């Protein structure tokens, strides 16, 4: 069963069959960026994009493929301990591949309307639920208003800070397609968004792993989170939103 | 083992405890504190007690580990991340009185709460972890351990090469962020290489760590980008402090019986 799902996914991503395997098993490959490595300057420097895509994402893909090959072998040998043991490698590397494939589409260069606020239906949904786009951005960046006493703001910020200092995290603007509501989610490590709720569809994902910003922003994560909104691809997010909530 | 003087006591942050009558503003914390003792002061009529931890400096200058770990990295890692953990911990401790007066070791164990960590755990453990990590390195480090540590490694791993391979492999197969440790396991009374995620450290299982390596990306990204293998090998070849490890082993042997002492026959 796992194999069939894998094959379907691989067709969706458009791939090549790995040599030597006779079965109907397809491996995954690194998707191309929809823009040049230097296209997101000065928000994200070229070197980060190159490393992020050619090294980090590539290694997720490679390790994901390796884990799947080993899984396939274990399945044919009915080797339960190995099957179970491989799950964490698949979750981490497969999750990494899924997430980064989404991230590349979530960004777009400024001259291709990166950072432009979202159009009608998504835009008004955001206004309805969060008040304004800025309020949403604040929430995702977990900065909140500077009101000292506001329990919700303080505790949410502490939670974010703690979570992000404890794990490497990813931040998401998600659509709950059953309740037709937007939500801001945080996942740890490379857990895909669905681990937070099976009805969640990612609209925007932001990689807050250190490798995504460290070379440029060093340890000042908040600058990275402030600036990345300048290259967020709201057009793509709107398309997904309109597809799920016509 | 008395030929060098080294405090093997990993609880290295300076602890200040002071009382304040309500309405007083807490003083600014001194960031660079070199004292190791903790002192208490209580007075009659004090109504609230605060505990603060200070950021301890590494036992070498920030550029002493060049070219293997750059000054830039130490400035960001120690001055930025480690400092944030300390400040974050102090902010959290302001709100609770129950956790005051602990050494770092105690604080880590108490906040781990047997697997159900309290919110302070993550900051406390990371402060402890980083203190331990800076101490685990030295300029001109690397090479091989000597005497007791080498003997124990050879006993538990077969050979030093085998141990080194295991250590490197653990570092490279860690998912996400975490630490790699050489620990002395109390129950099993042997050395082992373990990897932990995020902020967890072997103290919480009552084991005795001997050396550690930070595998969070911020620890190596500025110097080695994505090349984890190079970072780990450089650490083993040029940075790890076996002197410190020897001291720690010596102290550990007071708590763990590693075998019959060799009594010379007359």
| DSSP collapsed to 3 states, A131-150 | CCHHHHHHHHHCCCCCCCCC
Q: Residue B34's pLDDT is what?
A: 38
Q: What whole-number percentage of chain A has pLDDT above 90?
A: 31
pLDDT at A164: 54
- Nearest chain B alpha carbon to A218: B76
Q: What is the pTM of this model?
A: 0.76
pLDDT at position A175? 86
Task: Check B123 against A218: CB less than 8 A apart.
Answer: no
Spell out, as residue ranges, where chain B has pLDDT lower than 50: 1-13, 15-46
pLDDT in the model for residue A165: 56
| pLDDT of A10 higher than 50 | no
Q: For the residues A112-137, what does the mean pLDDT come to?
A: 81
Distances (CA, A) of A185 to A120, A182, A190, B262: 23, 10, 13, 60
| CA atoms within a 13 Å half-sphere pointing along the CA-CB vector of B138 | 11
Backbone dihedral angles phi then psi of residue A196, each to the nearest 5 degrees: -90, -10
pLDDT at A127: 86
The runs of H, that is alpha helices, within chain B are 71-76, 83-94, 104-112, 119-135, 147-157, 160-172, 217-224, 228-234, 242-252
Overall average pLDDT of the A38-46 stretch = 91
The answer to whether B34 and B59 have CB atoms below 8 angstroms apart is no
How close A116 comes to chain B (CA, Å)? Answer: 32
Name the CA radius of gyration of chain A, rounded.
Answer: 19
Whether residue A138 is predicted with pLDDT greater than 70 in this model: the reply is yes
- Of residues B76, B175, B216, nearest to A218 (C-beta): B76
What pLDDT score does B211 carry? 95
Kindly determine whether residue A215 and residue B225, on different chains, have CB atoms separated by under 8 Å: yes
- Give SS3 for B52: strand
Residues of B in contact with A209 (CB under 8 A): 217
pLDDT tens per residue, range A196-226 = 888 889 988 999 888 888 889 887 888 888 8
d(CA A232, CA A109): 8
Residue A166 in contact with partner chain B when CB distance is under 8 A: yes
Distance between CA atoms of B70 and B218, rounded to whole angstroms?
12
Question: Which one is predicted more confidently, B76 or A189?
Answer: B76
Q: Which helix (H) or strand (E) holds A206?
A: strand A200-207
CA distances A33 to A39, A50, A105, A181, B252, Å, are: 10, 10, 8, 30, 53
Closest approach of B24 to chain A, Cα-based (Å): 18
Cα gap B1→B69, rounded to integer Å:
29
Question: pLDDT value at position B17?
Answer: 43
Chain B residue with CA closest to A189: the answer is B176
Chain B interface test: which of A219, A220, A223 (most B C-beta within 10 Å)? A219
Residue of B nearest to A90 (CA): B175
Report whether A134 contacts A102 (CB < 8 A).
no
Residue B32 has a pLDDT of 38
- Per-residue pLDDT at B106: 87
From A37-41, A129-133, B71-75, the region with the lowest mean pLDDT: A129-133
Smallest Cα distance from B67 to chain A, Å: 18
Pick B221's closest partner by Cβ from A158, A161, A211: A211
């Amino acid at each position: 069963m796992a194999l069939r799902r894998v094959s379907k996914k691989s067709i969706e991503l458009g791939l090549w069959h790995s040599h030597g395997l006779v079965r109907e098993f397809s491996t995954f490959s690194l998707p191309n960026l929809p823009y040049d490595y230097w296209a997101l300057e000065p928000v994200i420097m070229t070197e980060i994009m190159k490393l992020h895509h050619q090294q980090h994402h590539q290694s997720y893909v490679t390790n994901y493929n390796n884990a799947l090959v080993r899984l396939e072998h274990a399945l044919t040998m009915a080797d339960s301990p190995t099957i179970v043991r491989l799950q964490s490698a698949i979750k981490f590397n497969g999750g990494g591949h899924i997430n980064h494939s989404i991230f590349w589409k979530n960004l777009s260069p400024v001259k291709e309307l990166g950072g432009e606020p979202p159009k009608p239906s998504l835009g008004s949904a955001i206004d309805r639920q969060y008040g304004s786009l800025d309020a949403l951005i604040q929430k995702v960046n977990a900065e909140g208003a500077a009101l000292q006493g506001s329990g919700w703001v303080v505790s949410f910020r502490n939670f974010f800070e703690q979570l992000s200092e404890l794990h490497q995290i990813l931040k998401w603007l998600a659509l709950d397609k059953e309740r037709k509501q937007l939500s801001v989610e945080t996942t740890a490590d490379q857990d895909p968004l669905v681990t937070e709720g099976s009805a969640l569809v990612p609209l925007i994902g932001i990689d807050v792993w250190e490798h995504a910003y460290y070379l440029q922003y060093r340890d000042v994560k908040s600058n990275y989170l402030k600036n990345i909104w300048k290259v967020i691809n709201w057009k793509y997010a709107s398309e997904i939103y309109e597809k799920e909530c016509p | 083992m008395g030929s060098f003087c080294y405090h093997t006591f990993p609880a290295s942050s300076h602890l200040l405890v002071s009382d304040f009558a309500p309405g007083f503003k807490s003083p600014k914390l001194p960031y660079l504190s070199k004292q190791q003792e903790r002192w208490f002061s209580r007075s009659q009529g004090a109504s609230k007690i605060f505990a603060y931890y200070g950021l301890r400096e590494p036992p070498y200058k920030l550029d002493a580990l060049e070219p293997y770990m750059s000054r830039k990295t130490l400035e960001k890692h120690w001055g930025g991340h480690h400092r944030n953990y300390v400040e974050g911990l102090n902010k959290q401790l302001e709100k609770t009185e129950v956790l005051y007066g602990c050494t770092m070791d105690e604080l880590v164990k108490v906040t781990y709460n047997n697997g159900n960590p309290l919110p302070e755990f993550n900051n406390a453990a990371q402060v402890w972890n980083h203190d331990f990590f800076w101490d685990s390195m030295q300029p001109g480090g690397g090479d091989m351990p000597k005497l007791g540590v080498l003997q124990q490694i050879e006993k538990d791993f077969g050979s030093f090469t085998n141990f080194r391979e295991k250590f490197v492999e653990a570092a490279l197969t860690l998912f996400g962020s975490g630490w790699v440790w050489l620990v002395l396991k109390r129950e099993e009374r042997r050395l082992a290489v373990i990897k932990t995620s995020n902020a967890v450290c072997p103290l919480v299982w009552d084991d005795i760590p001997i050396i550690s390596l930070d595998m969070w990306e911020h620890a190596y990204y500025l110097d080695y980008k994505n090349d984890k293998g190079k970072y780990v090998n450089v650490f083993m070849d040029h940075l790890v402090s076996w002197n410190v490890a020897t001291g720690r082993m010596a102290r550990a042997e007071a708590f763990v019986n590693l075998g019959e002492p060799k009594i010379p026959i007359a």
